[in-house]
Amino acid sequence: MEDSEKKVRKPKSSDYYEQLLQSEFNHKEFVGEFKYPLEAREIIVRKTSKLIKLKIRMTDTNNPDKEVLYKFIVAAYNYAYFDKSAALSAKQFFLSIAPRFVEWLNIAVVTNRFEILKEYEEYQFDKMSNHGGVSRLTSLKTLFCHALDKSIELHEALTSSELSYLYELRKTKASPNLNKTQISLASYFGSISWLRRDDVGIGHELYNVLASPNLTVKSLSLTASTVINVLAKYKQELHSFFKSEGVDFSLFLIPKNLSHTKKRKFVGSTIYRLLSAYHRMKTPSCVLKGALEVVLLSNSNNFKSFQFLLSALASKTQCDDLFTSQSQFKGEVSSVFCAGTCSQVMPGNLFSFEVLQQITLDKFSPPATVIEELMFSWLMASQCVQPFDIPKLTVGSFRLLKVGGKVRNIECEYFKGRAKVFHTTRSLSVSTLEGEALVSYLSLRKESEYLVEKRALVISNGVNSLVGTLYCLLTTRVLSNYLIEHHRKLDNIPLSMPRALISLIKNTGGYAGIEGGPYNGLLVEDASKPVATTNLTCPVTLFGFQAIKNSAVHAFSDPYTLNYLINKNSHSNQTEKRHYLNSENENWINSAGRITREVMLDLINNVYDLDFEDLNTKGKKEAVERFNSEFMSVTQSVSYKAGEMLSRLRIITGQNKGEINEVGVSALDSVEDTPKLSFLYVMDSAVVAWKMFNYLHEFKKHYKKLLSRNSEYLYKTVLPTVEWAEHTLSQLSKESQEAGQAIFENAIKNRVVVSVFHSI
């Protein structure tokens, strides 16, 4: 009875199973793309995870010129999708260019068949309101390269006249980009105007230093080199410390079966053991203290925890109070404390437990950390290595030059991907910080592996983020002292880059709201105080390789740096003149005095012929030697001498007595009693202004005579003085400038000549 009451299942029809099988078949079916014949007038690009389904329809088949261009588009598609030699980016490139061009071509009225690409360019300029900007024609011409040079399809199908037409169109020149500006460190920091503030930035004077490519790149290179060298010292010191304390590999081996809380307690207990051993030492070295600072940084879960842990280095008592005060059992490390301060993240950017495991081994071969990798890439960019080629460098890209069995110099020879040539960078002495850093970093790498992995430098407040780790590292006491010392030793250059990085990351990454802070030796006064940063315009990422490389080229292209005029900037001297010593690089060029700049560019471009490329090998070598012999005596001391004179400048007002020389400097004391770097006293008066105007006038008239008669005097004395005089004039009062200008113009009008260069 019950069985009869049960509902009987109705069997499925054959149609149902047929649809089910068809659906399964469709789901598993391979959807392929097929090569289109050149006569095809519709291209269907199937949908992918990154692209929507796209149809490219070519509708105007009555115009023979358009027919040729349609075939060109089909050939470019076939190359991008089916040629095995095509780049992986060729498909995306085709889809970004071809649909836009075909859409315009379908409706365009051709008035001049040879001007069709210029008409397309003008249409795109009008559409984007971008006249004088980037031309769409540049990328379209790349498709011509794909279809004509890298594929034989068009050559087999088109007539000779049709091919000639495409080649003629290919010769169409794209309009120059008049709005182009070079990315550099100066332009990057120049867009962050709040950095000039004293409360959140680095102050007005130090901010102005960032406009100098020479000083900025030197500071960046010094910073990167110092970080690499100091971290190498830290690893060696930790290795000796572990060996003396009997610390082995297992101490840093975190059991995988532990919970997150217990893993953090394991990390905290290990750190406590290391700190206790450190405090038992009678006279621990400063380097070991710095190394332990980095260990604490690498294993903290946030910036505030890192600040908190630093106090454990002060004394054994503070260390015990910090780690054991919250524990239920006396002398035991507190689980609560470790859970709130320690991190078990591996691998990290610095001295994570994985790195510490390698440091304990008897065969000392610690791996390179992510921070060292970043610093190395900055060093390579500062050596003018092309940004796209930096991730391709290996140990084999470097040559060690030995003298007497010892390594004396190091240089990099790499393959320039775009130019398809090998290029050699400047040779660096291993006695310099940069050379020492390169040798140190290469020793950490295997022969065949790439030295750099490309990373996005997003400015984040996470202590485990790359930029966040860099910020914390730069503010550690020992490393800060090293940076200050090395900047002071190298001509006492300003600490522009470390301080700019600290201030930028501090206020962009979210550290500004944290009271106190680690050692602030690199920060401006009171920079550790919390400030209101809600209205600050902050960049999302740090500067990239391109900005560093361009600034390095600007620095080494500086006319003051004449020993670099035989350039190793990975381009020819003609490129140097055309792209780096011109109006497109106005911000850099204007960092020199106006008159000085005009004179130096005139000498470089018109007096000295730097184009040795057309000479044979012997002639080129002799020409280079002759040129270098003329300029070897000229070094960067020209610009530094001008800067040194400016730093000694003191303007005097209300002074009516005193002798002044031909450039307006007052002699208040006897010459014998004047120290070498005493102040230069300048009276704020019309006579002084007139003397300076006259000195600059005489210089512009006679600099070529000075060059031919006494070139050393021109470069070492006159040019720095001109640079100094231009700046000093702007510091005088407006009344003195106007009165001095009037005296000068009156003298010129009456043909009164006051000679200042007696050697000619």
pLDDT for position 592:
44
pLDDT for position 407:
86
What integer is the mean pLDDT of 272-279?
93
Determine which of 122-131, 304-313, 444-453, 670-679 has the lowest per-residue pLDDT on average.
Answer: 670-679
Q: Do 164 and 297 share a domain, yes or no?
A: no
Give the DSSP H/E element, type plus range, for residue 421: strand 421-424
**516 found inside a domain:** no
* 375, 470 Cβ separation under 8 angstroms: no
Which tokens belong to 503?
Answer: 């201030």
**323 found inside a domain:** yes
Name which residue leads in pLDDT, 391 or 554. 391
pLDDT for position 605:
53
| Highest mean pLDDT: which range of 119-133, 201-215, 228-242, 389-403 | 228-242
Amino acid letter for position 735 = E
Q: Do 154 and 287 share a domain, yes or no?
A: no
Q: Provide the residue range defining the domain that includes 140.
A: 42-170
Task: Point out the domain boundary residue: 360, 380, 406.
Answer: 360
Q: How confident is the model at residue 42 (pLDDT cuts 50, 70, 90)?
A: confident
Q: Do 336 and 251 share a domain, yes or no?
A: yes
107 Cβ contact partners less than 8 Å away, ≥ 6 residues apart? 60
pLDDT at 664 > cutoff 80? no
Q: Do 237 and 340 share a domain, yes or no?
A: yes
What integer is the mean pLDDT of 90-98?
87
Q: Measure Cα distances from 10 to 7, 13, 312, 695 in Å.
A: 9, 9, 78, 110
pLDDT at 543 > cutoff 90? yes
pLDDT for position 728:
80
Q: Do 95 and 243 share a domain, yes or no?
A: no
93 Cβ contact partners less than 8 Å away, ≥ 6 residues apart? 80, 87, 139, 142
DSSP per residue, 747-760? HHHTT------TT-
Task: Point out the domain boundary residue: 124, 150, 170.
Answer: 170
**353 found inside a domain:** yes
* 313, 292 Cβ separation under 8 angstroms: yes
Q: Do 146 and 251 share a domain, yes or no?
A: no
How far is residue 690 CA from its own chain's centroid?
44
* 212, 324 Cβ separation under 8 angstroms: no
Name which residue leads in pLDDT, 680 or 194. 194
| Highest mean pLDDT: which range of 338-352, 428-442, 614-628 | 428-442
Per-state percent for the chain, helix, strand, coil, to nearest 5:
55, 5, 40
**658 found inside a domain:** yes
Q: Do 122 and 252 share a domain, yes or no?
A: no
| Highest mean pLDDT: which range of 33-47, 69-83, 653-667 | 69-83
Name which residue leads in pLDDT, 99 or 518. 99
H-assigned helices in 346-452: 353-360, 370-382, 433-442
Q: How confident is the model at residue 115 (pLDDT cuts 50, 70, 90)?
A: very high
**537 found inside a domain:** no
Q: How confident is the model at residue 424 (pLDDT cuts 50, 70, 90)?
A: confident
State the DSSP code for 311: G
Q: Do 166 and 236 share a domain, yes or no?
A: no
pLDDT tens-digit series, residues 580-613: 554 444 444 444 445 555 565 555 555 554 455 5
Q: Do 644 and 744 share a domain, yes or no?
A: yes
Task: Point out the domain boundary residue: 360, 375, 399.
Answer: 360
- Torsion angle of C-alpha atoms 492, 496, 498, 501, degrees rounded to 10: 180
* Strand 406-416 to 398-403 pairing: antiparallel
pLDDT tens-digit series, residues 332-375: 888 888 888 898 777 788 998 999 999 998 887 788 999 999 99
Greatest Cα-to-Cα distance within the chain, rounded to the nearest angstrom = 135
Name which residue leads in pLDDT, 685 or 616. 685
Give the separation between CA 105 and CA 93, rounded to whole angstroms. Answer: 19
Q: How confident is the model at residue 579 (pLDDT cuts 50, 70, 90)?
A: low
Q: Measure Cα distances from 171 to 54, 108, 145, 215, 563 in Å.
A: 30, 20, 11, 43, 40
Could you tell me where the beta strands, DSSP code E, fall in 20-86?
Answer: 42-45, 54-57
Q: Do 244 and 101 share a domain, yes or no?
A: no
Give the separation between CA 63 and CA 735, rounded to whole angstroms. Answer: 73
**46 found inside a domain:** yes
pLDDT tens-digit series, residues 384-401: 898 889 999 999 999 988
pLDDT tens-digit series, residues 508-542: 755 444 433 433 444 433 333 334 444 567 888 89
pLDDT at 545 > cutoff 80? yes
Cis before residue 37, ω within 30 degrees of 0? no
Determine which of 17-31, 327-341, 465-479 has the lowest per-residue pLDDT on average.
Answer: 17-31
Determine which of 241-255, 674-688, 725-739 has the lowest per-residue pLDDT on average.
Answer: 674-688
Q: Measure Cα distances from 141 to 55, 89, 209, 463, 608 in Å.
A: 22, 16, 42, 46, 38
What integer is the mean pLDDT of 480-509?
90
Find the angle CA(181)-CA(182)-CA(187) to the nearest 5 degrees.
90
Determine which of 100-109, 387-396, 668-677 has the lowest per-residue pLDDT on average.
Answer: 668-677
pLDDT at 623 > cutoff 60? no
Name which residue leads in pLDDT, 563 or 142. 142
Across all residues in the chain, what is the average pLDDT? 78
Nearest to 296 by CA among 324, 327, 270, 321: 270
Instruction: Report the number of distinct structural domains present in the chain.
Output: 3
pLDDT for position 51:
59
Give the separation between CA 61 and CA 55, rounded to whole angstroms. Answer: 17
pLDDT for position 35:
80
pLDDT at 654 > cutoff 90? no
What integer is the mean pLDDT of 100-109?
91
pLDDT at 255 > cutoff 50? yes
Determine which of 72-76, 166-170, 326-330 has the lowest per-residue pLDDT on average.
Answer: 326-330
**282 found inside a domain:** yes
Determine which of 340-354, 463-477, 569-583 has the lowest per-residue pLDDT on average.
Answer: 569-583
Question: Contacts from 77-80 at CB under 8 Å and sequence distance 24+?
Answer: 77/36, 77/43, 78/35, 78/36, 78/151, 78/153, 79/146, 79/147, 79/150, 79/151, 79/153, 80/146
* 436, 229 Cβ separation under 8 angstroms: yes
pLDDT tens-digit series, residues 279-322: 999 889 999 999 999 999 999 988 888 988 999 999 999 998 88
pLDDT for position 697:
87
Beta bridge partners of residue 421, listed in sequence order? 416
Give the separation between CA 505 and CA 542, rounded to whole angstroms. Answer: 9
pLDDT for position 681:
67
What integer is the mean pLDDT of 245-269?
89
**428 found inside a domain:** no
SS3 408: strand
Residues in the chain: 760
